[in-house]
Chains A and B, each alone.
Chain A
Amino acid sequence: MDSVLQTHSETMPAKGIALPRADNGTLITIALAVLALALAAISFAIGPAQIGLSDLFGGLFAQHGTATVIAREIRLPRALLAVVVGGALGASGAALQGLFRNPLADPGVTGVTSSAGFGAVIAMYFGFAALNPLILPASAIAGSVATSTILYFLSRAGAERTALILAGAAIASLATAMTALAMSLAPNPYAMSEMIRWMMGSLRDSTLADFELALVPVIVGIAILWSAARSLDALALGEEAAQSLGVNVHGVRRRVVIGVALATGAATAAAGAVSFVGLVVPHLLRPFYAHEPARLIIPSALGGAALVTAADIAVRLIAPDGQLLVGVMTAMIGAPFFVWLILRMRREAL
């Protein structure tokens, strides 16, 4: 038998093994962490009150005074919450894209964020949140669990990636409409004026309590997503190949659904529905991590933190009166990006 293999093997020793070039993933991750921290510091320093930096930082450690109130109760919660919200959305986007093998997946696009917002609005404006502070994030998480579960079953039933995105878009529309309906029926007289905040997302008037309530579920959610990360690379080969490699695909799906629901739900309960962060950030970072979904979770969390913080700085610089919401800024970046991504995918498919 003529052996093509033998023919090739004869040339092997001369070719040797070309090892992959080392990428700078670790350095990029450190740079992202530094960037997020630096932006958080800038965010802390920015605000309408004319107050010196030394006074502001001194106010963090003082017991009373105007600087203390501004530093501890206004600037610090806003800066910290931006980091937490961005981290949650970035990591969730990376995990959803890996799970659904779809660069268009994102908590906003798939309706997870809108559903969390709907859950939060129900708790807030019908008085449940007043019963216990945990009810607000729990209700938002329940909203995101519901949508994530629907997506989970659609994916399990073999829905194509376009079908998943369309289903997500339908769920997002429904959740937004239900949020509007709930707010118009709410007994709270300020409900209508706050509706836009829930639908678009804002970090204005954040409190330390908002940050504290969001922090634990977001950290737990990201940790769950990170625990599922290793299997996401195998899923790139397809579900059956991944299963044959010993990956518990249903278990991975469950972990991603729970992790995304916890992180996105808690972030949305604190800041409303901030969109497109989970779409843009993993996509921009992917080439720096050799396109490996497993390596993208933590960098996407850091990148998301940097993006939301930067967007929150931008809205305050552009509109110091507070009329511009951070979610509007991320949507202005993200929506054209989404269209560009679809066009690029279409070009690649041709």
Chain B
Amino acid sequence: MSALSLLHVRASYAARAVLDDASASFVAGKVTGIVGPNGAGKTTLLRVALGLLPFDNGDVQVLERSLKDCSREWLARSMAYLPQESAVQWPMLVERIVTLGRLPYGPRDNGAAAVADAMARCDVSQFAARRLNELSAGERARVLLARALATQAPILLVDEPAAHLDPAHQLQLMELLRAEAARGVAVAITLHDLSLASRFCDEIVVLRNGHVAGQGAPGEVLSDAALAQVFGVAAKRLDGNVVPWSRV
């Protein structure tokens, strides 16, 4: 069952279409990667799905409800979002930041168990009493992911989780996202790194100039022809995973 679907969506910034007739679906229990060159509309797709950017045509279905009929609070409980912008203005304590993930449940929420669970899963429990600015980039990324997981939403949208991280932390974060999918969460992530996408994603949505060029298993949609046409690269294959190798 599709937890989140975009159906023929058109969205624009200042009259310029940034998504056009875009359809994609994100299934519970799977990691779906959204790939495409710079400016293809990856982040826009997430913003539209979250209701942060209004769309002109089409529909977005969240857990089989039209996004336009959903309250802000319901959407916040249904979809957790980890934006690429990871700066936190004030040096707040890690536990407080993770607790912000419970905000959609209102001031009477007793989500201490959810917060502790999210911190444990992201291996940041030991930082609970530390300030975010005292942590390394990799640790900060895990804290912010824990904040998203604390919401316990059935859908998780993550924008470029691997950006600015070293390879070990990239792998750790991707494994955390796979673990979420294994728990039944529909995980959607935008990625620039085609190697990570082909290795960790169950499905790939390929975007090009605001259009969905294809959706399917990595082996299908990241074909040599598609890589050349969409990304302008030729790739080598390592255990079936894509490694961009040369420009074409």
Of A228-236, A316-324, A326-334, which binds chain B?
Answer: A228-236
List A residues 1-27 near B (Cβ within 8 Å): 1, 3-5, 8-9, 12, 15-21
Interface string of B72-108 (1 = CB under 8 A from A): 1101110111110101111111111100110110010
Taking beta carbons and an 8 Å cutoff, which residues of A are in contact with B?
Answer: 1, 3-5, 8-9, 12, 15-21, 101-102, 230, 233-238, 240-241, 243-248, 286, 290-293
On whether the beta carbons of B83 and A20 are closer than 8 Å, the reply is no
Contact A230 B90 (CB under 8 A): no
> Is B128 in contact with chain A by the CB < 8 A criterion?
yes
CB distance from B104 to the nearest CB of A (A): 4
Interface residues of B (CB under 8 A from A): 47, 50, 52, 72-73, 75-77, 79-83, 85, 87-97, 100-101, 103-104, 107, 116, 119-121, 123, 125-129, 131, 144, 147, 151, 168, 171-172, 175-176, 178-179
From A9, A16, A19, A241, name the one whose CB has the most chain B CB atoms within 10 angstroms.
A241
List of A residues within 8 angstroms of B81 by Cβ: 240-241, 244
Residue of chain B at shortest CB distance from A12 = B120
Cβ B101 vs Cβ A17 within 8 A? no
In the complex the two chains form, is B89's CB within 8 Å of A236's CB?
A: yes
- Assembly CA distance A237 to B76 (angstroms): 15
With beta carbons under 8 angstroms apart, the residue of B80, B90, B93 that contacts A20 is: B93
Cβ-defined contact, B125 with A236, below 8 A: no
Do B95 and A19 touch (CB < 8 A)? yes
Tell whether, in the assembled complex, residue B88 and residue A5 are in contact, meaning their CB atoms are under 8 Å apart. no
Residue of A nearest to B50 (CB): A244
The listed residue (B50, B75, B100, B123) touching A5 by CB distance below 8 A is B123
Whether B129 lies near A238 (C-beta < 8 A) is: no
Whether B125 lies near A244 (C-beta < 8 A) is: no
Say how far B149's CB is from chain A's closest CB, in angstroms.
Answer: 12
How far apart sit A230 and B176, CA to CA, in the bound complex (Å)? 30
A128 to chain B, nearest CB (A): 41
Instruction: For the complex, give the distance between the alpha carbons of A1 and B176 in Å.
Output: 12
Give min CB distance, A169 to chain B, whole Å: 21
A4 contacts B52, C-beta separation under 8 Å:
no
A240-B123 contact in complex given A245-B76, A246-B76, A293-B90, C-beta closer than 8 Å: no
Q: Which residue of chain B is the closest to A246 with respect to CB atoms? A: B76
Neighbour of B100 across the interface among A1, A9, A102, A234, CB < 8 A = A234
Partner of B128, one of A17, A236, A240, A246: A17
**Nearest CB of chain B from residue A302's CB, rounded to whole Å:** 20
Beta-carbon contact of A246 and B75 below 8 Å: yes
7 A-B pairs besides A17-B128, A20-B93 with CB distance below 8 A are A4-B172, A5-B175, A12-B120, A18-B125, A238-B85, A247-B103, A290-B93
Contacts of B80 in A (CB 8 A): 244
The chain A residue sitting closest to B93, CB to CB, is A20
User: Is there contact, CB below 8 Å, between B129 and A19?
Assistant: yes
User: Would you call B119 and A17 a contact (CB within 8 A)?
Assistant: yes
Contact in complex: A244, B88 (CB < 8 Å) = no
Given A236-B90, A244-B80, A245-B76, A17 and B104 contact (CB-CB distance below 8 Å): no
Q: List 24 A-B contacts (CB under 8 A).
A: A1-B175, A1-B178, A5-B121, A5-B176, A12-B125, A17-B116, A17-B128, A18-B129, A19-B95, A20-B129, A230-B103, A230-B107, A236-B88, A236-B90, A237-B147, A240-B85, A243-B52, A244-B52, A245-B100, A246-B72, A246-B77, A246-B103, A248-B72, A291-B90
Q: For A3, A233, A244, which residue has the most chain B Cβ atoms within 10 angstroms?
A: A244
Which A residues touch B90, using CB under 8 A?
236, 286, 291-293
Q: Are A291 and B92 in contact (CB under 8 A)?
A: yes
CB distance from B54 to the nearest CB of A (A): 13
